[in-house]
Amino acid sequence: MEIKRFKTKEEVTKALAEMLLAQVKAKPNSVLGLATGSTPTLAYHELVKDYLLNQTDYSKVVTFNLDEYVGIDSKDKNSYRTFMDINLFNYINIKNENTFLPNLNNVDDIDLSYYDEHINNCGGIDLQVLGIGENGHIGFNEPGDDMDSLTHRVILAENTRENNSIYFETIDDVPTEALTMGIQSILNAKKIVLAITKKTKAKIFKRLLEEEPSSSLPASYLKTHANVVVLVDAEAASLLEG
């Protein structure tokens, strides 16, 4: 993993946006793996600003989101589909039919391998964006998940539901289950960028650097991938020496 340290979360999000822009400019038909959560949101807003200024072309870009809740409609204000629409897709010239999130429409609950097959059929993910949960989850791969998992249905950890409850009226409204690309789906990407910001991520970032790959810290499996860049701000790096 290549670690790039920045002072502020704004610098991290600018660097993330620059990586995405460079990818799309170098390969206009890029396949992007996208994440939700507060960390990449500002980067998506940078892409919107750039689009307004420079009309960067997304007409051939295909996107696959990491995850989606089970039990709320895609049109619900808290679905990850809505999140992507209102933070990015609605404001750039990406084609709606080229944007994918895992869903249960027309598929067996158990077998979500169609999602990985579709990613493969599109040529594989060129650049995968990731955030990290306080418990080390990536996508919704919670501690304990297998390294060789493809897209699957998961029960959310209580800590994840608590953290994500800020977007809901009460914690009881937070879904208990989700669909997520698996660790292997993520590791299949050609390049991965993990953005880590804020003090709340300092403990998990330190553990990520110190621990060997294991299921107790799903993000640690990124160490087995040859092309991972970690963008981190000073708050998230505050428990490191030097």
Using CB under 6 A as the criterion, which residues of the chain lie in contact with ligand GLP when the complex forms? Answer: 35-39, 66-67, 131-133, 139-140, 160, 164
Burial per residue of 56-89, b for 16 or more beta-carbon CB atoms within 10 angstroms, e otherwise: bebeebbbbbbbbbbebeeeeebbbbbbbbebbb
Structure tokens at 78: 């808290």
**Collapsed DSSP state (helix, strand, coil) of residue 168:** coil
Q: Clarify whether 67 is annotated catalytic.
A: yes
Q: Which residue in the list 46, 65, 126, 137 is annotated as catalytic? A: 137
Least distance CB 23 / ligand GLP (angstroms): 19
Q: Which residue in the list 67, 68, 145, 235 is annotated as catalytic? A: 67
Burial per residue of 205-221, b for 16 or more beta-carbon CB atoms within 10 angstroms, e otherwise: bbbbbeeebebebbbbb
Q: Clarify whether 137 is annotated catalytic.
A: yes
- Give the phi and the psi of residue 182 in degrees, each rounded to 5: -85, 175
Question: Residue 140 and residue 177: Cα distance in Å, rounded?
Answer: 9
**Collapsed DSSP state (helix, strand, coil) of residue 229:** strand
Cα angle 61, 66, 72; round to 5: 110
Question: Residue 33 and residue 31: Cα distance in Å, rounded?
Answer: 7
Structure tokens at 119: 């990613």
Least distance CB 129 / ligand GLP (angstroms): 9
Question: Residue 170 and residue 206: Cα distance in Å, rounded?
Answer: 31
Q: Which residue in the list 46, 116, 126, 142 is annotated as catalytic? A: 142
Least distance CB 133 / ligand GLP (angstroms): 5
Write the CB contacts of 242 (distance below 8 Å, at least 6 apart in sequence).
none
Nearer to ligand GLP by C-beta: 197 or 242? 197
Least distance CB 28 / ligand GLP (angstroms): 26
Least distance CB 55 / ligand GLP (angstroms): 28
Q: Which residue in the list 135, 141, 163, 164 is annotated as catalytic? A: 135
Q: Clarify whether 135 is annotated catalytic.
A: yes
Nearer to ligand GLP by C-beta: 66 or 92? 66
Q: Active-site positions?
A: 67, 135, 137, 142
